[in-house]
Each structure stands twice: as structure tokens, then as C-alpha cells.
Structure 1
Amino acid sequence: MKRTFVLMGLLFPLAIISQIPVTDAATNASVGMVNSQLMNINIQLKAVNKNLSRLINLMEKNNNETLKSRKILKEELEAKKQAPAYVTKSTDVSRTIDLKTKILEAYRTSKQTVQQLEHLNRKERQEFFGFAANAILETKNLFKQCNDILKTKAIILPEERLKKVNGINSELESILDNLIVYNNKLSRTNAFRKSRSTLINMNKE
């Protein structure tokens, strides 16, 4: 029995010593595996960082493009708030001014002419004067609309401004034509009555 304990006492240290290399090898293997995993993680992190850098660069580029686009859009909107020179100095605007002048001249001339027509009655004269006064009022309103279209700060395309001015010109032309037609009508009426009166007087003689 005593020999058994002695033998076991001798063998136990040997067993411990024999296990040390095995334990170190396992530890080294584990450390190597961890290092390998860390290397893989590091590689993945580098790839992620690279992708993030690309993404950040793209975002910055897009942001710069967006800011540039906003600036251009703002400039375009500001430009649309003002009528350019080719609109304010266009033949359409010149036509508006010319029509206004012609209507005022036609009004003054017609008024003088009608007042001198001896064979018109008072009602006919008053109706014409009322028509002519209304024509002048409409002309002033349309001319004001033209100025408002040219000076407004609203966002309107130059082509739209010209289109509106052209529409005003059509109305002014109609006013001028109607004023001339009305004046000619009264002149013909007066001439007809004058001829008839002359004929009657000749027959009396």
C-alpha cells in the first residue's frame, strides 16, 4: 500500500508536466484563431471605412450640387420677377403706347367733330360723348394693366408678359376702331340729314 502511494507520488508530477505542452498548444491555437478573427474584422472595418468615405464624398458632392441648383433656381426665380429689356422695349409695348396716343387723339377729334355736326340732336351727341368717355376710361385701365404686367414682382415668364400685353393691345385696337366707326356713323347721319334738308329747301323754292 505504501508502495502504491509512493508510485503515485512519482507519477503525478510527470502527468502534470506532460499536460503543459498540450495546454500551451491549445492556448496558442485559440490565440491564433482570435488573431485571425481580429484580422478579418480589421479588414472588414477597413472596407466599411472605405465605403463610408465614398458615401460621405458622394453625399458632400450631392449636397454641393443641391446648393448650386438652389442658387441657380433662386437666380432664375428672381429673374422671372422682373421684365427683361427685350420685353419692356418690345414692339408690343411700343404698340400699346401708340394705341393709347391714337385713342386720345381720336377722342379729341371726334368730340370736336360731333360738336360741329349741325344736324345731330342733343341725345345723339350725349350718347356719343358718353361712349367716348367710357372708351377713354377703358383705355386708361388697360394701359395701367400693361404697366402692372411689366412692373409686377410676381413670377411670370417673359413670354407670358408679352402675351398679356398683346392681349391688351387687341382690346385697345377694338376701342380705337369702335370710336372711329361711331364717329363716322354720326358724320354720315349728319351728311344725310344735311342733304335731305338741302333738297327740301330746294323744292320749296
Structure 2
Amino acid sequence: MMIYLKPRIVYLRILIGLLPYFGSAQIPVTDVAANAQLVILNQNVATLNSQLVTLNSTMGKLLAQMERNVTVNSSASKILSQDLTAKRTPASYVMGSPEMTELYNLKDKIVEAYKGTQKNLRSFANLEKVEKERATETLADALVQVTSLVSQGSHIASTGEIIESADRLSALRSILDKMDSVLETIIKVNTSLLQKNEHRKAVYSLIKTN
């Protein structure tokens, strides 16, 4: 654009510089060729001015849009940062949720059931050795499981990883289901041992009586 306009601008300057001489030479104002050229030059200048106005307006709009984009991007970045922080930081209701309370309550129940069953294993006199060994292995496995599950629950509730609070609670409920299963296993083992011991005790008592 600048290369195209430059010769015309130079020509205009030359023409303007020659106007006094044209006047002194008494060139007729009605000279068709001169008037036509002046009209063309005026039109070109007017067009250039119009283009400059349009360009300035366009640049102004572009700069304004860029500023808005920067503001929007900055706001979006801030919102994203806040969202990630919220996901990394466990909400207080997660740490103090019924799920967390139940997690520790179940842990206590499992430990209590474990200790009670272990005590019965030592005190029951009518159990076979293999039965005691199997029960001991089951109890040991249950203790390992509950230790791991409690650790997982504590980690999920307090980890700085990007996890939604709702997902944390969902994971906790899944862990609680597994812990319930562990507790049921221990109770079943204890009940089975108790029944076997009492049954054999009754049988032995009946035999002695006869």
C-alpha cells in the first residue's frame, strides 16, 4: 500500500510546489486535464484519509478486544486456579463427614472383634489345631486389610491430589463397604469357632456322663 501511494504523494507535492508558477503562467482554471488530475489526487487523499480512519478504528477495536481477552484469560486462569485448589484441598465436611466417622468406628469394631476372636482361640479347649491355624490366618489377613483400608481412607480424605469432594466421599463409602465385609468375616470366624467349641464341649460332657 505504501509503495503504491508513494509516487502519488510525491507527485502531489511536486504539483503543489508548481501551483504558483501555474498561476503566474496564467494557466486557465478551466483546464480540463489539470482539474481532472486535481480531482483524482483529492479523491486519492480522501480515500487514504478514510482508510487511515478505518485502520485507526480497527486497531482501536483490536486493542480493546485484546485487552478484554487478557482480562478474560486472567479471570479464567484465576477461576481454574481456585478450582484446582478447591479440589486439592479437602473440604471441611469431608474430614468431618459421617463417612470419616464411620471409618474410624468400623476400625475400632474390627480391632475389638479381632482381639475377642484371638482371646477365644486361646481359651477354647475343644478346637482342633488345624481349625485354630486357619482362623489365625484369616484374622491376620483381616488385620492387614483393615490397616490398608484405613490408610487409604485417610489418604483419600486428606490428599492434595486433584479430587472432587464428592469423589472423595464416594471413595470413602467404597472403603467402608470393604471394611464391613472384613468385620463380617471376623464375626463369622468367631461364631463358627464358638459353635464348634460349644458343640464339642456338649458332646464330650455327654460322653463323660454316659
> Which TM-score bucket, shorter chain as reference?
0.7 to 0.9
1:77: how far off?
0.8
Q: Which residue of 1 aligns with 2:100?
A: 93
Cα deviation, 1:128-163, whole Å, max 9, x if unaligned, reads: 122111111111011111122123222111111111
Cα deviation, 1:19-48, whole Å, max 9, x if unaligned, reads: 942786633442233123211221232122
Q: Which moved more, 1:167-176 or 1:150-159?
A: 150-159
Q: Which residue of 1 aligns with 2:46?
A: 39
TM, length-normalised to structure 1: 0.84
Cα deviation, 1:146-184, whole Å, max 9, x if unaligned, reads: 122123222111111111111111111001111011101
Pick one of 113, 131, 142 that aligns with 1:124: 131
Q: Which residue of 2 aligns with 1:161?
A: 168
2:144 is matched by which residue type in structure 1?
A: L
1:43 is matched by which residue type in structure 2?
A: S
8 Å contact from structure 2 (residues 95, 158) kept in 1: no
Asked if 1:55 corresponds to 2:66, the answer is no
Cα deviation, 1:2-30, whole Å, max 9, x if unaligned, reads: xxxxxxxxxxxxxxxx9942786633442
Asked if 1:73 corresponds to 2:83, the answer is no
Q: Which residue of 2 aligns with 1:180?
A: 187
Q: Which residue of 2 aligns with 1:195?
A: 202
Q: What is the rounded CA distance, in whole Å, between the counterparts of 2:35 and 2:60 in structure 1?
A: 36
Higher Cα radius of gyration? 1
Q: What is the rounded CA distance, in whole Å, between the counterparts of 1:22 and 1:119 in structure 2?
A: 136
Q: What is the rounded CA distance, in whole Å, between the counterparts of 1:33 and 1:197 in structure 2?
A: 129
Tell me the secondary structure at the aligned position of residue 65 of structure 1: helix
Q: What is the rounded CA distance, in whole Å, between the counterparts of 1:98 and 1:144 in structure 2?
A: 14
Q: Which runs of 5+ in 1 are unaligned?
A: 1-17
Q: Which residue of 2 aligns with 1:107?
A: 114
Asked if 1:152 corresponds to 2:151, the answer is no
Q: Which runs of 5+ in 2 are unaligned?
A: 1-24
Identity %: 31
Q: What is the rounded CA distance, in whole Å, between the counterparts of 1:138 and 1:64 in structure 2?
A: 52
Q: Which moved more, 1:110-119 or 1:86-95?
A: 110-119
Asked if 1:135 corresponds to 2:133, the answer is no
CA-based RMSD of the aligned residues comes to 2.1
8 Å contact from structure 1 (residues 92, 165) kept in 2: yes
TM, length-normalised to structure 2: 0.82
1:56: how far off?
1.7
8 Å contact from structure 1 (residues 82, 150) kept in 2: no
Q: Number of aligned residue pairs: give it.
A: 187
Q: What is the rounded CA distance, in whole Å, between the counterparts of 1:84 and 1:22 in structure 2?
A: 88
